[in-house]
Amino acid sequence: MKKIVLIAVYMFIGIATAFADNARITVEAPSAVEAGDQFRVQFTVNTDDVSNFEAPDFKGFEVIFGPSTMRQSGVQIINGRASRNSSITYTFVILGSKPGTYKLGSATAVVDGKTIRSNSVQIKVLPMGQGGASSSQSGSSRRRSQSGNSNPSASDISRDELFITAEASRTRVHEQEAILLTYKLYTLVNLTQLDGKLPSLNGFQIQELPLPRNKKYSLESYNGRNYQTVVWSQYLLFPQQSGDLVIPALTFEGIVQEINRNIDPIDAFFNGTSGLIELKKKIVAPKIVIHVSPLPAKPDNFSGAVGHFSVSSSISGDKFKTNDAVTFKVDVSGTGNMKLISTPKVNFPKDFEVYDPKINDNFSITRNGLTGTRQFEYLVVPRRPGTYTIPAIDFVYFDTSADVYKTVSTKPYAITVEKGKGNASQAIADFTGGQEDVKTLNEDIRYIKTGDVKLSKNGAPFFGTWMYVLAYVVLLIVFVVILVLGRKQMRDNANIAKMRGKKANKVAGKRMKYASQLLSAKKQGEFYDEVLRTLWGYISDKLNIPQEHLNKDNVAMRLDEHGVDKALTEEFIKVLNDCEFARYAPGDAIETMDKTYEDAVAIISKMENNIKK
């Protein structure tokens, strides 16, 4: 029992020591605030064994409240190993009254006798603008009220309240030189959704930078107003030709929520509806012209690389036997147009059998281009013994900072090949991804076979035999069958009404697929319109009823003529009625849309199986 207690004590002491060694303080604070606004600054220590916490001097700010403390702790046991997680958070509420940029120093705390410090942060206090994001909705509503228009519309949202800027990191570049294209959103309204993607551009290779899906807005002053801003999308562009290349204006489609002044908030609450209205707004980012200069006269051994690069190489050994597999690697590292680098030319000895290189890419997208390494892995098989040299490789690239071509080289390798019975079949199979036998050199021309040779007589000619006649008969029968079926298909195609009836289910399926997309996007009005169009269109095509004669009475009469059960007819009419009234019914809109979609699919399937052709 004592041993168990001691083990437990030592385990928790070890956990506490480990946390003390890795103890740190993290700071959470906004990067920019508006003068007169209160905001929070939080200091979190990743252990609760803290003493003598000291906050930094909030010079330039007024402390309204704090510090308040919050502790969290927990123990996890995974695969028999225990880990303890704990933290303590100190929260201050402060206010910045004077515009400027202020630096918060480091907070300090003592953990297990050691003093730890947080990093310092900068907070920019912006002057009070002409209208901040917090008051944007009320400001917009007041403007519309003054103009006499109580019903909000997208045209009421001005260019100063919602816009997107387009910025290129550079507008004068060489061919293949990376350009960072940034689309940044500025808003004073409640923007809930925004869609827009850069299309393919003539003369550019495009690589989109991954950005967080959950956008985090920050405050920024622009032309005297404080906006909520976020970098919406970024792209790396590599110009493929010289001249003036245009990045066209890009149209984004956004959805803005505003208060609907025509709906009483109390009625909206009890009726289960929202007092907000969604406005669709198109936002156009301006075009940009990029001036692309051609590269100077290219050397013969130019690799196609533009940027900043280095090159290195390695080999799997220096002593081998004949038919052994030798691995030779060339690594090109740096920043630039990594994907467009051509395969380096390696002058292997003529007695080496060389396989196509395998390319391994390990790079990431950065603001200056693709950064990382492209590796070229060669597999070679020496066939004759001897001493060989793999010469140095010259890698030529264009340096964008110096505007000149530069050459970097690998080192040469001397290797010794001894005679042996090596077999590289497995290595070659692993390298090429399939079985491939080692080629036999100098033995591809065989001796003429001597001695007794047995010859066999060829068979009788096929022409004129009964098999020859039978083949002609079969071909004739096949031709007649194809001709009959083809004429029948032509008659069916000429009967437009019949063809519409045959394709009615297929057309309805496509429309319901689009309705499913509207359901997923929660576009209620468009969803019900599409389901109604699908149901009316299906019955019109199936029963050959013109659009102008489509009504529920005619549909019921024609379904009765086709022998459809009365109960099924009533069910079809019920689905139409439910779809027409569902959009105005109170309750859970998503659940109602789901049920409407399922009912529409089911009734179309039943009709398809019951309508008599």
d(CA 33, CA 10): 48
Q: What is the dihedral of CA 13, 16, 18, 20, to 10 degrees?
A: -130
Task: Flag whether pLDDT at 197 surpasses 70.
Answer: yes
State mean pLDDT over 329-342.
Answer: 91
| Structure confidence at residue 467 (pLDDT) | 80
Asked if 232 and 184 touch (Cβ cutoff 8 Å), the reply is yes
Asked if 202 and 231 touch (Cβ cutoff 8 Å), the reply is no
Architecture of domain 2-126: Sandwich (2.60)
| Structure confidence at residue 225 (pLDDT) | 86
**Given pLDDT bands bounded at 50, 70 and 90, which one contains residue 388?**
very high
CATH number belonging to domain 303-432: 2.60.40
| Structure confidence at residue 495 (pLDDT) | 55
Listed in order, the ranges of the chain carrying CATH 2.60.40.10 are: 2-126
Read off the pLDDT of residues 79-132 as tens digits, 9 standing for 90 and up: 667 677 788 888 998 888 888 888 888 888 888 888 888 888 888 888 876 544
Q: 133-293: which CATH topology?
A: Immunoglobulin-like (2.60.40)
Asked if 31 and 124 touch (Cβ cutoff 8 Å), the reply is yes
Read off the pLDDT of residues 137-190 as tens digits, 9 standing for 90 and up: 444 544 444 444 556 677 778 888 899 999 998 899 999 899 999 999 999 888
Look at the alpha carbons of 31, 35, 40, 46 in this order and tell me if their dihedral is positive or negative. positive
d(CA 60, CA 43): 19
- Closest by Cα among 528, 538, 537, 536 to 597: 528
Beta carbons within 8 Å of 378's beta carbon, 6+ residues apart: 327, 328, 329, 330, 346, 348, 354, 355, 357
**Is the model more confident about 551 or about 245?**
245
Beta carbons within 8 Å of 251's beta carbon, 6+ residues apart: 196, 282, 283, 284, 285
Read off the pLDDT of residues 587-607 as tens digits, 9 standing for 90 and up: 667 778 888 888 888 888 888
| Structure confidence at residue 124 (pLDDT) | 85
Q: What is the DSSP string of 458-494?
A: PPPPSTTSHHHHHHHHHHHHHHHHHHHHHHHHHHHHH
- The yes/no answer on whether domain 496-610 falls in CATH 1.20.120 is yes
